[in-house]
Structure 1
Amino acid sequence: MAFASRIRSSLPLVSKILKSDSLSAAHRALLAPTFTDSQLSRSFATKTTEKKDVKVKVPLALFGGSGNYASALYIAAVKTNSLDKVENEILDFVGAMTKSPMFSQFTKDLSVPADTRKKAIEDIAAQAKFSEVSKNFLILLAENGRLRNIDTIAKRFVELTMAHKGVVKVIVTSVIPLPAEEEKELNETLRDLMGKGKTVKLEQKIDPSIMGGLVVEFQQKVFDMSIKTRARQFERYLRDPIHWDNL
């Protein structure tokens, strides 16, 4: 009962923060950023499609190496109208690595010559009848020694395909599972924030270490309203003599 009451008491704060004007503005800025062509995306797009004049907007701004590769794959898949097929093929490839430790080790071993990795990927793609987009992308990773990052790249790519379909994944961390009423209220708040045409996919995580409250994560944003974080903030406040001088 105590844990449930803590969750319930934190929901108004969640709603207030999620519905704030500053958050809405930041959210709108991330919804449809234009992907800045890097050398990676230009070279990959050239290999996979002749529609060079078609500009594709990436639905989420992804950062880092994995984000760049995922964005390049998304652009190529959209240009060739093969987004669903490419998603399934990349996930199948990752699944095969998960099931075969030997294959996984092969893809991640940088001591294996790039030509050997490339030939293996070509054979696998041919047997699996992968699309040109998936095949060329996996070959690119093999040549650049990035196959070891394919699982992370695949996760980032799925984030883009979900956003393309209007699905927003939200991870909510709490001490205990959210009661049905609180989960419904949070869902409604998030749907209002996302706007029409968006579907919220709520994923709950249990973490007793946060001591209470909620941590809400979506689209590379984290809203930490946990008791653990509040306690740390209060401790820092008490340790800061500047605050006492202003009293």
Structure 2
Amino acid sequence: MALGGRLRPNLYLINRILRTQSVCTQRSFAQRSTVNPNFTISEGLRNFASTPNSKETNIKVPLSLYGVSGNYATALFLAASKANMLDKVESELLDIIEASKRSPVFSQFIKDLSVPGETRVKAVLEIFSEAGFLDITKNFMAILAENGRLRHIESIAKSFTELTMAHRGEVKAVVTTVIPLPGEEEKQLKETLQDIIGHGKKVKLEQKIDQSILGGLVVEFSQKVFDMSIKTRARQMEKFLRDPVNFDSI
């Protein structure tokens, strides 16, 4: 079930919790954790937020990712791999992104750093518990909430998907067109890309619609861009017509 169906009825919790937690506490984290047992959960899962040590696990990380999003995504990848829950965790992360796009309240909650950490953690644990999310996903979101990193969830989810695709031997190819490709043309394009990348990996094709390219198509995969759009060709022709002719070279 999509997140819209799983979380939407529980989003009222955010408003309720924010109303009851409107005064920001000035106590230290240690003091808060003594009062609120929920903090012991995220405290015990701090390893999610650190760069994993390859010597401590036999799981191979398929890509080296860096920065805040890369480190968090890699840590989550290792935890989900150990639990054999990669696909499920990936699906739940994508559900969360969908919810943030559909619900202005949820989106604001993720971005608002003025909300006290204790309040953020409490809201996350309640919302995702009631939605039936995996403990791995729920506790990971609590770590992000505690560390003020919820606003990075979209880029973290993107990095996590890159890891899972690499783990499955998939290569994402994005084709941009003015109108959706007919089924037969999509099949032919996918077969062509498959021949290019080799049969050791699987092409995962994603279509995007962009009227501004005027026609033709743009294909992006493996950090390569093949721009065969009418817009680009028109610019190239315009440049050719504007450039002065060198008669000495004729």
Q: 1:197 to 1:147 in 2, by over 3 A?
A: same
Mapped pair 1:102 → 2:99: no
Gaps of 5+ in 2: 1-45
TM-score by length of 2: 0.64
Aligned counterpart in structure 2 of residue 211 of structure 1, from 208, 211, 214: 214
Is residue 157 of structure 2 the alignment partner of residue 154 of structure 1?
yes
Determine whether 1:70 maps to 2:82.
no
Unmatched 5+ stretches in structure 1: 1-41
Greater CA drift, 124-133 or 46-55: 46-55
What is the correspondence of 1:151-230 to structure 2 with a 5 Å cutoff? 151-196=154-199, 198-230=201-233
Structure-2 separation of matches of 1:119 and 1:193: 49
**Any conservation in 1 of the 2:177–2:215 contact (CA below 8 Å)?**
yes
Q: Contact between 1:177 and 1:206, CA under 8 Å: does it hold in 2? A: yes
Q: Report the AA paired with residue 147 of structure 2.
A: N
1:220 deviates by 4.2
Stretch deviating more after TM superposition (42-51 or 121-130): 42-51
Give me the whole-angstrom Cα distance separating, in 1, the residues matched to 2:122 and 2:62: 31
What is aligned with 2:56?
A: 52
Cα distance change on mapping 1:113 and 1:187 into 2, 3 Å: same
The size of the alignment, in residue pairs, is: 204
Match of 1:19 in 2: none
Looking at structure 1, the residues matched to 53 and 92 of structure 2 have their Cα atoms a distance apart, in angstroms, of: 18
Q: Is the contact between residue 86 and residue 133 of structure 1 (CA under 8 Å) also seen in structure 2?
A: yes
Contact 1:108 1:148 in 2 (8 A): yes
Q: Would you say 1:88 and 2:91 are equivalent positions?
A: yes
1:99-120 Cα shifts (integer Å, max 9, x gaps) = 5432332222111112221222
Q: Is the contact made by 2:175 and 2:208 (CA closer than 8 Å) also made in structure 1?
A: yes
TM-score if structure 1 supplies the norm length?
0.64
